[in-house]
Chains A and B, each alone.
Chain A
């Protein structure tokens, strides 16, 4: 592993994203628009539904977006031959993975700053805990999305397939994360499944922060998400082989 190479990968990925103005705009603007839409939708409904759904959405954006972006970009690296070329160079597998995680983590930090800024500053989301901790949770979610995206890209041979992994891997997590039905009210089997899905903990962390601000709870959830992300990165590293059949 080498810091020089990891930073080279991260820098290159960020340059590529910066070049792609449309993707960059979507990454940064779409979350703000969606969170505003959510707020507007609940405006005339009694109760504090925005306070319940808003935090969950803040946890999902970085996860979903980074999952998609990473699975497609790394698939492109695999099919264009650049990955093979890099692996014939002094590039460690972890350099490659951490470079991507670093680049998309940074991007997620900017994305989270904007989305949280809009939610708290403009839409009046009341956060009981420290606002910066929302950003930390968002970045860890993004790294999780990146790690899972890297992993599934190994099992896709076309960009169409890579995109299809999104409903397969991400939608079940959204359904079972406790947003629609509290996890304690789910049938036992589903609650058990929900307990082993990382997004459940990401959403928990956000909701905890907004509602009660038990920081110990939040950090525990963040730790669980981080462990999932590390495990996915480890599995992803196993799919990057210098020698292929």
Chain B
């Protein structure tokens, strides 16, 4: 069994007066892991902890054997926020070139990243002229620069058409096959079957953890949505 890429222990995060994560523990192994749960359950907060963007109250978060957010991880973890975090007034290639310089990666990886999100035909277009789905793919391409060992993706497939969604999941699996760990959050339960492993989350807690078929069998449900409901009602 491979060592876990992410290890979270007793993590407590308080935002304002609300305890968003009341002491969560989980592991993320290599492969594609889906973090599934309804909106507002704390998925984004958890992902922000993994990249070191979230102030935490207590607990430990280790990524690739280092404390989350520490300097050695900043070129090894790719992070895609829910909103496309790219510059609207630059072209696709200019955005990628800028982030590549910040990361200190080979400029040749720019075209590779653009190609892998299927935007080669738009490389010299301004991001503000692109559709919502295309913009989020630019943001994804930035995260692919420098071939990170862990890719943290916050709802990357929301609002995309089915063909594109399928292509992106293929891309995630391709990245995982090349040896990286991919953590994808989603509130759409039907994306569960595409993951090697699932973390079902509700109200800041993990309510199920394992391969999709195992989670289904354990609850006797026909699909993950059913399993989720079963887990919530029997809790």
Contact = CB atoms under 8 A, between A and B. Distances in A.
Interface of A: 4-5, 7-9, 11-12, 15-16, 19-20, 80-82, 84-91, 242-245
Given A12-B98, A244-B55, 9 more contacts: A12-B94, A15-B90, A15-B94, A19-B90, A89-B102, A90-B104, A242-B53, A243-B52, A243-B56
B102 A8 contact: yes
A84 B44 CA distance: 13
Contacts of B16: 245
Contacts of B51: 88
Contacts of B56: 243
Interface string B176-215: 0000000000000000000000000000000000000000
Contacts of B55: 243-245
B15 A81 contact: no
Interface in B18-76: 51-56, 69, 71, 74-75
A113 B199 CA distance: 60
Interface stretch (B1-9, B80-88, B161-169): B80-88
Interface of B: 15-16, 51-56, 69, 71, 74-75, 77, 79, 81, 83-90, 94, 98-99, 101-104, 126, 142
Contacts, number: 77
B81 A84 contact: yes
A12 to B, nearest CB: 5
B90 A80 contact: no
B19 to A, nearest CB: 13
A34 to B, nearest CB: 26
Contacts of B53: 84, 87-88, 242-244
A31 to B, nearest CB: 23
Contacts of B103: 89-90
A8 B53 CA distance: 22
A89 B74 contact: yes
Nearest to A16: B89
Contacts of A12: 87, 90, 94, 98
Contacts of B126: 19
A85 B89 contact: no
Contacts of A4: 101, 104
Contacts of A86: 102
